[in-house]
Chain A
Amino acid sequence: MKRLLLLTLLLIQPLMTEAKSDDHIMVIINKSSDIEQLSKSQVKNIFMGTVSVDNIVPLGLPPGEVARSIFNVRVIGLTESRIRSYWAQMRFSGRLKEPDNASGIDDLIINIRSASNTIGYVPENTPLPDDIKVVFRSSEQ
């Protein structure tokens, strides 16, 4: 029992990263994609796997990233713990698989530059290379 408690203490990480009320995100995709704009519902459906849109592959950020917390609040509308529970249910019931996560914002941008159908989110005002375009801004909702 002591070992288990020690292991548990060693493994815990802060789950929640607080998002400020004026923080926003933007959803980005490779410029070669035909998609020019997405609605909030479309973005939510893509990232929650409820509806597929034009073979788009969502790529998230890991728990603890500020942009992920903002995305959960502004777009998904659920807490991180509820989202984790949802994906546990989907995965272990064999219905859906959680989107992969990039290791961070730089990695996410690299992935989107190299694939025309990958979609992701970054903090608003993140500098973007020329071959990436914005298809949704939470600040415009």
Chain B
Amino acid sequence: MAVATEFTALASSVGGALIGVSAVLLLYSNGRIAGISGIVKRLIAPAADSKPAQALAFIIGLISAPFVWTAVTGHAVTQSVSTNIPLAAIAGLLVGFGAVLGGGCTSGHGVCGLSRFSKRSLAATIIFMAVAVLTVFVVRHIIGGGP
């Protein structure tokens, strides 16, 4: 069932801005889009110009983030992840497959693409947002379950 979370306008805006700083840094330095599904794909299914070592370095940075955050601030990272294993397996498959088929995910289309005023990214963002909202509605309010 739903785990209550607090509305955090300031923290969320600051966190979002940091995501933006990362995206700008990556485009400025290496000319790359900070789309995480794309970066993971560059590492595990590389094409000619994928530069997988750079992708790996980015991913190591991502994975280190919660530990660096806790080391610096002393705060643990609060997280509530569903323990429904079959659901995790199916959702992971759908997220990975859909993101690469659709050419991007929340970060690639939703942040970087919209920031370039890409028509494709706007369409993708509207579609995945709408389907995700509908999915949560069906799972929580019609079926009456889910994380």
Q: Do A and B come from one complex?
A: no
Q: Which B residues have a C-beta under 8 Å from some C-beta of A?
A: none
Using CB atoms and an 8 Å cutoff, list the residues of chain A in contact with chain B: none
